[in-house]
A and B are shown apart, each in its own frame.
Chain A
């Protein structure tokens, strides 16, 4: 349960990181993120996140029509998205440092 919640929270961060320097379409993002076993991203997690980020203005969408299928939607980061990513990076570093020190405290106690 805890792991599931943690993964869900991290998907948004991972998407913004992935789109930091380029644009990509939905399934392409899914394939790249799903290579990370720890994240375990699937379509039911990713596509709603993409739609939400686009709705909130963090992602811009370029629609490329397709003759034989649905239009392909390419996502890229907007200024709002870059700011959001920057905030998340700062928070992530702060959180990881706090957790790291806690973990070190635990291992120190165990050794004593």
Chain B
């Protein structure tokens, strides 16, 4: 009887293996294989990966795992095999009627951040920048302390929106640099301030009981900055996804 696996991978290394398995599963889903067939193929593949790592070293590092993954067939190779399987199959579906499968890469995920995140960041951030600039210029001139505080908050939020925009504009196919991540984090940190700003404007409206141009533009500005924060959050999530993806290469 053959022995079973004795190797225990750290959570980080296990994640690398699971990400490769996820890519293969995506290809198998595209090929419309049933869950049990996918499970069978993935179990075989995982077993093979573990056995290859086990043979390589008793104490695997990230490099060992990546080297093993790089020696495997790319995930899309499974598509070629299963595609013919589907054509031969008598399941009543034809391969030509299937939607075109998404190409899955074993090396890197689609590296470009989503266009939606970039453009929403640029548009919303741009609007927030302009509104914020007009607002703090107008509010800063008023003597009331509250409005002064609001102006400070607004300035901070303004800087955050600007930084967020810079991050989005600097989006590159490669994972973001440390500086970009720091800027995105700073921008995200302006969210509570934005909410505070909205609250301050709302209370002013209640106290004064009149809709002034400041209150109105305050609502608009706050909403815009909050929108920018949402766009930056989307971007940050994308960056995190890029970082979590192993940088393997096919041989």
Q: Which residues of A contact B (CB under 8 A)?
A: 8, 25-28, 30, 42-52, 54-55, 61, 64-73
Interface assignment of B78: CB less than 8 Å from any CB of chain A: yes
B40, A44: Cβ atoms under 8 Å? no
- Roughly how many angstroms separate A44 CA and B23 CA in the complex, as a whole number? 13
Could you say which residues of chain A place their CB within 8 Å of the CB of B40?
47, 50-51, 54, 61, 73
Chain A neighbourhood of B81, CB < 8 A? 8, 44-45, 48-49
In Å, the complex CA distance between A102 and B45 comes to 41
| 23 interchain pairs, CB-CB under 8 A | A25-B47, A26-B47, A27-B51, A28-B2, A44-B73, A44-B80, A44-B81, A46-B44, A47-B40, A47-B41, A48-B37, A48-B82, A51-B41, A52-B37, A55-B37, A65-B4, A68-B7, A70-B42, A70-B50, A72-B4, A72-B47, A73-B40, A73-B43
Prevailing SS type, chain A contact patch: helix
The answer to whether A50 touches B44 (Cβ under 8 A) is yes
Q: How many residues of B contact A (CB 8 A)?
A: 30
Q: How far is the CA of A68 from the CA of B9 in the complex (A)?
A: 9
Contact B85 A52 (CB under 8 A): yes
One of B5, B8, B51, B77 near A44 (C-beta < 8 A): B77
B44, A66: Cβ atoms closer than 8 Å? no
Q: Answer yes or no: B84 CB below 8 A from chain A CBs.
A: yes
Chain B residue at minimal CB-CB distance from A74: B2
Q: A42 with B44: in contact, given A25-B2, A51-B37, A72-B2 (CB under 8 Å)?
A: no
Please name all residues of chain B whose beta carbon is closer than 8 Å to the beta carbon of A8 when the two chains form the complex. Answer: 81, 84
Q: A44-B77, A70-B43, A73-B40 are in contact. List 20 more A-B contacts (CB 8 A).
A: A26-B47, A42-B77, A43-B44, A43-B48, A43-B73, A44-B78, A47-B78, A48-B37, A51-B33, A52-B37, A52-B85, A55-B34, A69-B4, A69-B7, A69-B47, A70-B50, A71-B43, A72-B2, A72-B4, A73-B43
